[in-house]
Structure 1
């Protein structure tokens, strides 16, 4: 099921998004500092879809300047606006920022639907094994990796509770688990590529 999601996403990105992103990057060639912002709509019954939107902005202007411009063009939250300022639309389309929105299915069609509790335990165990190896190979990072192992063990304790909210965990994983080097997702957070 996860592979279907990412095959579909891959096909979409290869059709136009990748070229659009390359064009965006060529316009901002030489920019070395970037800001990325995200917004999520998950399990909101008043919305048609679950979605994640990411916005990449070159750090050409200080964030306060960008925020002031956005506030001037859209003084209220767009969700509370009946009519969007045309200048705001032009600003969004100007090429100053790059937006990517991803739609996700919910319920039984949710990408993580049907994953058994044991798979989560195995993922955290596998991550802890990797972190233990990293401690051996990178002793200077021992404290950092040890903290992550401690957090993973706490998470395993939480997973064992009968009242654990798997729906929430699945939604967190949906928007928070980066792909591995091979482009496939794992249930374990990837700390280093």
Structure 2
């Protein structure tokens, strides 16, 4: 089982579970549907952190109404916005949404010192073997899908042997899968939803290898808490293949978190006053004293990985 995922599961269950359970209390129906929306701020040399942000949003209204409301309060992504609308702040703080951000200081190079190519290769092979065992035992009823996953893994293994292989992109892909799986697992142990739809900003993380990021996320979601083989007693977990622009408004939610948290020096609170005004507004209006978000810092020192639940309280 992936060591990063195990550390995240332990941290979230110990440090964030009570807050997340309180968030879920009004939503005890077993038929609720959720959107897991993600965006990323990675490889920006002007930022201090690489950030993977996810927002878990209840399907509480018609999608067109949700999109229109977000668009009215945040017509542009944070990079192109001049300020942050009051209605948008109200929405991201509302009772129908919970935010998770995974923050890696840029000098950690996406945890390269811990999450090596050898480790990634081993984990991809592990997922391939899990698929094989599950097909043989017919433990999931997903045999056609698992065979497709194996085809994608075969392609990945071939590319990993080439000198042109993009190790950094693969690390982004697998980290995205790990982070999403940790959230899906937290939801799984605290509620009984009927469906979760993952919606991501469209870039190489999602497009490369026909969406293997979702495969990696989905397989680890199925495996938790056991690594023997997946269980079929899970909610329906899906990935949106809609066009890039259809969910733009929803993606704007994690975009604001990723863009803001990437700008913050986690070791120096005084630096908050030096942020751009729009980032300061968002920090003060949504991040400080928040009861509906988890900001997880991951850091590698001397090949040892540490994870922290970071809170801003005033």
TM-score (norm 2): 0.51
Q: In 1, distance between residues paired with 2:130 and 2:96? A: 40
Q: Which runs of 5+ in 1 are unaligned?
A: 182-187
Q: Which has the higher strand share?
A: 2
Q: In 2, distance between residues paired with 1:155 and 1:165? A: 11
1:6/1:26 Cα in 2 relative to 1: closer, same or farther (>3 Å)?
A: same
Q: Which has the higher helix share?
A: 1
Q: Which runs of 5+ in 2 are unaligned?
A: 186-214, 224-314
Structure 2 residue matching 1:110: 3-state secondary structure: coil
Cα deviation code 1:73-101 (max 9, x no counterpart): 22222322222122221222222311122
1:9 Cα deviation from its structure 2 partner: 7.9
Structure 2 residue matching 1:155: 3-state secondary structure: helix
Q: Is the 8 A contact 1:38 1:55 kept in 2?
A: yes
1:134/1:3 Cα in 2 relative to 1: closer, same or farther (>3 Å)?
A: closer
Q: Is the 8 A contact 1:5 1:111 kept in 2?
A: no
Q: Is the 8 A contact 1:28 1:58 kept in 2?
A: no
1:106/1:3 Cα in 2 relative to 1: closer, same or farther (>3 Å)?
A: farther
Would you say 1:82 and 2:97 are equivalent positions?
no
Structure 2 residue matching 1:164: 3-state secondary structure: coil
Q: In 1, distance between residues paired with 2:163 and 2:65? A: 48
After superposition, residues 79-158 of structure 1 pair within 5 angstroms as 79-108=79-108, 110-113=110-113, 115-138=115-138, 141-158=142-159
1:81/1:168 Cα in 2 relative to 1: closer, same or farther (>3 Å)?
A: same
1:9/1:41 Cα in 2 relative to 1: closer, same or farther (>3 Å)?
A: farther
Q: In 1, distance between residues paired with 2:120 and 2:54? A: 27
Would you say 1:68 and 2:68 are equivalent positions?
yes
**Higher RCO structure, 1 or 2 (CA under 8 Å, sep 6+):** 2
1:3/1:132 Cα in 2 relative to 1: closer, same or farther (>3 Å)?
A: closer
Q: In 1, distance between residues paired with 2:105 and 2:13? A: 18
Larger radius of gyration: 1
TM-score (norm 1): 0.78
Cα-Cα RMSD: 3.0
1:165 Cα deviation from its structure 2 partner: 0.9
Partner of 1:51: 51
